[in-house]
Amino acid sequence: MSTHVIVDLGFGDAGKGTMVDAIARRCSTPPLVVRYNGGAQAGHNVHTSDGRHHTFSQFGSATLVPGSCTLLSEHMVIHPPALEAENEGLASIGVKNALQRLMIDARALVITPYQQAMNRLREVARGASRHGTCGLGVGETVGDALDDAANAVRAADLQDPATLRRKLARIRERKRSQLAPLVPALMEAPIGTRNTRLYDIAIIMDNLVAIERVAETYEEIGRSLRVIDEADVARQIRASKHVIFEGAQGVLLDEWYGFHPHTTWSTTTTKNADALIEQSGRAGEVRRVGVVRAYATRHGQGPFPSYSEPLTAKLREVANVDDGWQGRFRSGWFDVPLARYALAASPGVDALAVTCLDRLAAIPEWSFCVEHRVDFGRHRLGPLVAKPGDLEYQESLTRDLERCTPKLERAPNDAQEYVQALVGHLGLPVAVTSFGPTAEDKRWA
């Protein structure tokens, strides 16, 4: 038996999907992949040596490995239409039975169109103070569940028409009441932005026929899903020979440890995975692998001390573009202090996977960001001590990061020496180095 927990130690986009796929191909039998946080906003790219490519959103990133299964845990936020679309995308590249290999915890939250629309409208209304969002309604759905748990749509409700319709009506009315205060800010938005949001307003303000349309769509999708209870979830995790827990986003975006307000409504550390392992009674050693790029990236708003415009220009990529809800994709030097912070926020990581080493060839001289400094007096910023639950403190860290400058240190130009220098900075062994997008491009220690 083997148990791996995959966690991103940055702001996301480090290569979790390619690592899950690569580990799955080394298992003696097809694994169970457990998605332990996040939702449909994930974009985990997997390439195979036969030329196939898929961006995994809700299915586990080992789905291209025949026989592997996915379990969407209670910590996932499900988007049924996007799940159906992803299933069709997998079928188009030869994976015809993805839904048959998918299980969903009955307790998982479900995004409704009303919550997705409100998510987008709130972001437009923020104007220049945007938080950063993928525009899929994950945070809106989680927030509603915290405030009104009895009316949150869960995966089990997709197979209970009466309950589903009742909850949809309640959520729609809730969003209608929340829309009015946003109207002045929405009217001040640029004309192009304002016009594109008329569709979202219509979804919330449409007549009651809209609820019937949404319910019918969700019920139809629900009939094709395997929704399992808490006991079955535990049995699946406990009994599978190989289990890979796949995280979403990155520790630096965590709801409590990230830099507020540019965070996600999700626990992005290994906490949820550890809880699922304990609750299931799964035995054996657990390998927790922290994934980092060879350089830093950030997609969307928020502080980024080691950001470099020249690096961003040289390291553009197809999978992460500047348009869409997230905004600009930026690159910078590997940030040692932030990596140490992520490791402190998610204790238990025992090995690193370093990806995108092949892309360093585009950079003539490599560097590490080894300190954060403020301009006056050139002081090194104090240690970033996490205080989970204290959003005011997390916001103070955001202000610190926004006003600091990076102290850079030259790094070796040889990839292997670069990795060893990284080991020296972080004090953890490197289990995998990746020099390309496929499993064959991985080198194992």
Q: What is the pLDDT of residues 160-171, one digit of tens each?
A: 999 999 999 999
Q: Which of 121, 55, 50, 122 is nearest to 440 (CA)?
A: 50
Q: How confident is the model at residue 126 (pLDDT cuts 50, 70, 90)?
A: confident
Q: How confident is the model at residue 380 (pLDDT cuts 50, 70, 90)?
A: low
pLDDT, residue 139, reads: 86
Which of 179, 204, 223 is at the close of a domain? 223
Do 9 and 68 lie in one domain? The reply is: yes
Are 353 and 431 in contact by the 8 Å Cβ rule? The answer is: yes
pLDDT, residue 320, reads: 65
Q: Which of 305, 342, 337, 340 is nearest to 9 (CA)?
A: 342
Do 361 and 249 lie in one domain? The reply is: yes
Handedness of CA 180, 186, 188, 194 (dihedral sign): negative
Mean pLDDT of 413-438: 96
Do 369 and 264 lie in one domain? The reply is: yes
Which amino acid is residue 333, in one-letter code? W
Do 39 and 89 lie in one domain? The reply is: yes
Residue 90: both structure tokens together: 């997998």
DSSP string, 304-370: -TTB-HHHHHHT--SSS-S-SSS--EEEE-EEHHHHHHHHHHSTT--EEEEE-GGGGGG-SS-EEEE
Q: What is the mean pLDDT of the chain?
A: 90
100: how many CB neighbours lie within 10 A of its CB?
Answer: 9
Do 216 and 258 lie in one domain? The reply is: no
Do 162 and 255 lie in one domain? The reply is: no
Residue 214: both structure tokens together: 């949404």
CATH (domain of 267):
3.40.440.10
Do 130 and 277 lie in one domain? The reply is: no
Question: DSSP state, 11?
Answer: S
> Considering the entire predicted model, what is its pTM?
0.91
Q: In the chain, what percentage of residues exceed pLDDT 90?
A: 69
**18 pLDDT exceeds 90?**
yes
Which of 167, 198, 223 is at the close of a domain? 223
CATH (domain of 218):
1.10.300
Do 180 and 155 lie in one domain? The reply is: yes
Do 190 and 96 lie in one domain? The reply is: no
**63 pLDDT exceeds 70?**
yes
Q: How confident is the model at residue 209 (pLDDT cuts 50, 70, 90)?
A: low
Look at 114 and 432; give whichever has higher pLDDT.
432
pLDDT, residue 423, reads: 97
391: how many CB neighbours lie within 10 A of its CB?
Answer: 14
Q: In the chain, what percentage of residues exceed pLDDT 70?
A: 89
Give the gyration radius of the chain's Cα atoms.
Answer: 22
Lowest mean pLDDT among 30-34, 82-86, 388-392, 395-399: 388-392
Do 214 and 241 lie in one domain? The reply is: no
Which of 202, 223, 244 is at the close of a domain? 223
Q: Domain containing 187: what range?
A: 109-223
**251 pLDDT exceeds 70?**
yes
Total domains present in the chain: 2
Instruction: Give dist(CA 428, CA 420) in Å, integer.
Output: 10
Mean pLDDT of 63-82: 97
Q: Which residue has the tokens 């001289």?
A: 365
Do 188 and 280 lie in one domain? The reply is: no
Do 268 and 413 lie in one domain? The reply is: yes
Q: Which of 173, 157, 164, 145 is nearest to 215 (CA)?
A: 164
Q: Which residues pair with 429 in a beta bridge?
A: none
pLDDT, residue 194, reads: 47
